[in-house]
Chains A and B, each alone.
Chain A
């Protein structure tokens, strides 16, 4: 069991008091499994992902990643967990503008202490980034940037990859290609993937599908 969520709750304070977003989520994922998370805008998909990645605090319930209880860790502990086990991919790419593509790709792996030049080279090759290695993120197109983000994440060999609408900013063709590459590489790396998406076509490519609405999974 790589990811285990038990009765997770989360609310935000709104203008009229607390607004519940997640109201008792439970979920288990085995290593190597892939899961598509769908749901309306505002249903709490990103919130759930952030909680799993230890970017935010839950109100109640437990999250275990690789046997470690995320919900019980302090700031530094959660940072260490992210470095070691979790890879995050966002819609906005979130590359580091001051580093070249090559350094962006190496960055996370080095943070995790798992730098593997051969693996990184294979990834850049597979993602068609070989030409771009010395460029800076601002010189890349959106699709290229997202491929760098994917390479960065997978190069670090995280056990769990959390992807939040990774192709939301890309046109359909590019999105398809990027998703192909992502799923293939996740498969190759044997990683577990949680993919947030609005597209049912994309969702169907995952081994499992969950729909989030009114704070619950179905």
Chain B
């Protein structure tokens, strides 16, 4: 019985392979896009981490010897035994005759996973790395090596030029420093109740993580938005599947009725249909996993890094799909399929057994249903406007995004209906009038594909606006925050003094004094800044009052960052208590996308009077070029390269990484549009056979097939244009929600929104092109329909 029922269900797909292909294709593409975005996120994260690695594991606290260059292995072991989660690092200069490489030796087994080196190490088989057989370096540096090295060299573009990475054992051997460790990286998660450092290793100094250059928070915001994009892409795919499933079920009514007349229970039929959807979803999901893999591989320039990120860090070289990744992709495909089929199955289960006059078009709605849709859509839009869910949490922000998109999608068909109605009224020729009427009639069936197009265009506008705005902000922020050429952390007073002495040689020294303090209920970082012309040149204020920097220099005012301003509701004109005795007016609010903490900046002199015991440990240096400055500090004052950050290089690296993610985002944009185009194509193709009788009538009345084909194409373009007109404001609203609501909720800052008309114009052309391209095949087919096909309609052979 089951077999018979299954074979009859399957026979439908055999006779309608195109529909099956639509469904599998839609779901597979959706899954692929979803996993592609995941891949992009992983890749971007890895790249940012790599950038952080350039600055010497600056993300983590470190233990450094109070005296001397290195610490003993015994100290390290003692710490480990005491429960400290630390990882040894040895740095040194590897002399290669002409050039020297800055070699870092790490222990991949204990290195915190977020450390950049951890990502790079994963590029080679772990066993080989641990055995000390390999060393990673930038491809450009490999040429410098002779062949007679005692170690295999592996090119890794993720490594900065002039640097090399090896297992700590190998590094000790190569540098001739057996058992030596330069410093210990402290993992972020430490067991509770471990003995204090002073007890286990009093000879070591805890050097806190360097905050100033950390872009992790900023990129988190970016990733969050990208994830939203991934979900949207997936939704677009689900729309295709929804349409295909609905149609397939609709067209199988008679068959299902027959199955039931022949004695299958409804429950049984529903189970069969559910199983069918599950199988189709899993097959699609599997194809989607492969597509996503190919997508990731082709989109991301650094394929190896991507695969590493996706398929697990433990094995590299061999392409092993990471189970969690493909399982989650399959899961999301299954979920999507079931989601898309649920309403169709539900409707099917309520089908009366007695054959009656079935409403012809399943998607065709009663006027009442349409009104309901209109009201619901409007209600959701109002909701997304935030009039109901005022402010609140991140969840509320996402609810607003969802309400906006869903509401708009629901409103699309009624709005199009109105537009087409107007067009029909105003049509001059009879063909035009028929054209608009016919387009209106197809609206219920094309509605889903058009919603997919709407979402795709909206996502494109929203995300490209977001990404581009983000990019401008990011560049501005980098310019502002990475003013210095070199950023140096001093470990001792002597080093601080050495840095200050550079000012005598015309080098601008910008000490950064900081303390953690509380202002009201808020924990903030209070900075003392030595006001210099560069600040005035690069810093831009979101809000300001008077000549900010001279007021700060005079100790008469403070600057606060945006997240503090928003949280505390303080803006220029308000005052904040800096200490029990000092209250300062706020002179400026500055955008700060680097960390979630509140920051307050006051003048250096005032800071020193308030916190006389605090010494500047961090300095920005300008003048003479980064390389020269670093070389000088290393040679004259014995600075470890790890204490210095080449800000110029860091800025360049960050920008480069960002550009890369930017390119990939635009590629994903194109793909989403392609999926929407596919949705339109599929709907048109499935519509085509149903429309033959009607078109035959018009043809018989004397409209040529050629003309019918033209009209078919014109229809797709007209609908795309109308959808586009609707999508434009919607996309901007989405961008606004992402930049100004989601970001504020998640990170405390609002990203300024810029408009990119040229991008939108390009997008308009692309989406109309996609629609026209999708309609081309059905139109050509129509123009070439053999008259015999039309004649069958009139043959009376009933």
Instruction: Check if A58 is an interface residue, CB within 8 A of chain B.
Output: no
Chain A interfacial residues counted at CB < 8 A: 35
The reply to whether B700 and A53 form a contact with Cβ atoms under 8 Å apart is yes
| 29 chain-A/chain-B pairs, Cβ below 8 angstroms | A50-B791, A55-B790, A56-B787, A56-B788, A57-B787, A75-B704, A75-B706, A76-B706, A82-B700, A82-B702, A83-B703, A84-B702, A90-B794, A92-B793, A94-B696, A94-B793, A95-B697, A96-B437, A96-B438, A96-B694, A96-B697, A98-B437, A98-B440, A108-B701, A110-B430, A111-B703, A138-B360, A164-B796, A168-B796
Q: A90-B796, A98-B440, A164-B796 are in contact. Are A111 and B700 (CB under 8 A)?
A: no
B window 397-446: CB within 8 A of A: 429-431, 433-434, 437-438, 440-442
Interface pairs A-B: 6 shortest CB-CB:
A83-B702, A98-B441, A110-B430, A82-B702, A94-B697, A98-B437
Q: What distance in Å separates the Cβ of B295 from its nearest Cβ neighbour in chain A?
A: 40
Q: What distance in Å separates the Cβ of A47 from its nearest Cβ neighbour in chain B?
A: 9
Instruction: Check if B138 is an interface residue, CB within 8 A of chain A.
Output: no
Instruction: Check if A210 is an interface residue, CB within 8 A of chain B.
Output: no
Instruction: Check if B274 is an interface residue, CB within 8 A of chain A.
Output: no
* Residues of A close to B572: CB separation below 8 A: none
Q: Which residues of A contact B (CB under 8 A)?
A: 46, 50, 53, 55-57, 75-76, 79-84, 88, 90-92, 94-99, 103, 106-108, 110-112, 138, 164-165, 168
Question: How many interface contacts (CB-CB < 8 Å) are there between A and B?
Answer: 91
| Alpha-carbon separation in the docked complex, A69 to B693 (Å) | 27
Identify which of B434, B440, B796 contacts A46 (C-beta below 8 A). B796
Main secondary structure on chain B at its contact with chain A?
helix
Q: A46-B796, A79-B703 are in contact. Are A99 and B434 (CB under 8 A)?
A: yes
* Residues of B close to A111: CB separation below 8 A: 430-431, 701-703
The residue in A50, A75, A84 that gathers the most chain B C-beta atoms within 10 A of its C-beta is A50
* Residues of B close to A75: CB separation below 8 A: 704-706
Nearest B-chain residue to A94, judged by Cβ: B697
User: Chain B contact residues (Cβ within 8 angstroms of A): what range?
Assistant: 20 to 34
Nearest A-chain residue to B698, judged by Cβ: A96
The reply to whether A46 and B700 form a contact with Cβ atoms under 8 Å apart is no
Given contacts A75-B705, A79-B703, A96-B697, 20 further A-B contacts (CB under 8 A): A46-B794, A46-B796, A50-B794, A53-B700, A56-B791, A57-B787, A79-B704, A88-B701, A91-B794, A94-B693, A94-B697, A95-B697, A96-B694, A97-B441, A98-B438, A98-B440, A98-B694, A107-B701, A111-B701, A165-B796
| Alpha-carbon separation in the docked complex, A107 to B787 (Å) | 22
Q: What distance in Å separates the Cβ of B563 from its nearest Cβ neighbour in chain A?
A: 56
Nearest A-chain residue to B795, judged by Cβ: A46
| Alpha-carbon separation in the docked complex, A82 to B704 (Å) | 10
Q: What distance in Å separates the Cβ of B746 from its nearest Cβ neighbour in chain A?
A: 48
Q: What distance in Å separates the Cβ of A160 from its nearest Cβ neighbour in chain B?
A: 13
* Residues of B close to A95: CB separation below 8 A: 697
| Alpha-carbon separation in the docked complex, A84 to B434 (Å) | 18
B window 756-797: CB within 8 A of A: 787-788, 790-791, 793-796
The reply to whether B702 and A91 form a contact with Cβ atoms under 8 Å apart is no
* Residues of B close to A99: CB separation below 8 A: 434, 437
| Alpha-carbon separation in the docked complex, A57 to B787 (Å) | 9
B window 452-487: CB within 8 A of A: none
Q: What distance in Å separates the Cβ of B435 from its nearest Cβ neighbour in chain A?
A: 10
* Residues of A close to B429: CB separation below 8 A: 110
The reply to whether A107 and B700 form a contact with Cβ atoms under 8 Å apart is no
| Alpha-carbon separation in the docked complex, A193 to B122 (Å) | 86
| Alpha-carbon separation in the docked complex, A138 to B358 (Å) | 12
The reply to whether A107 and B704 form a contact with Cβ atoms under 8 Å apart is no
* Residues of B close to A82: CB separation below 8 A: 700-702
| Alpha-carbon separation in the docked complex, A165 to B428 (Å) | 35
Q: What distance in Å separates the Cβ of A120 from its nearest Cβ neighbour in chain B?
A: 13
* Residues of B close to A92: CB separation below 8 A: 693, 793-794, 796, 798
| Alpha-carbon separation in the docked complex, A80 to B696 (Å) | 15
| Alpha-carbon separation in the docked complex, A56 to B696 (Å) | 13
Nearest A-chain residue to B364, judged by Cβ: A138
* Residues of A close to B702: CB separation below 8 A: 79-84, 111-112
* Residues of A close to B433: CB separation below 8 A: 103
Q: What distance in Å separates the Cβ of A1 from its nearest Cβ neighbour in chain B?
A: 22
| Alpha-carbon separation in the docked complex, A80 to B442 (Å) | 27
* Residues of B close to A103: CB separation below 8 A: 433, 437
Q: A50-B791, A55-B791, A75-B705 are in contact. Are A94 and B434 (CB under 8 A)?
A: no
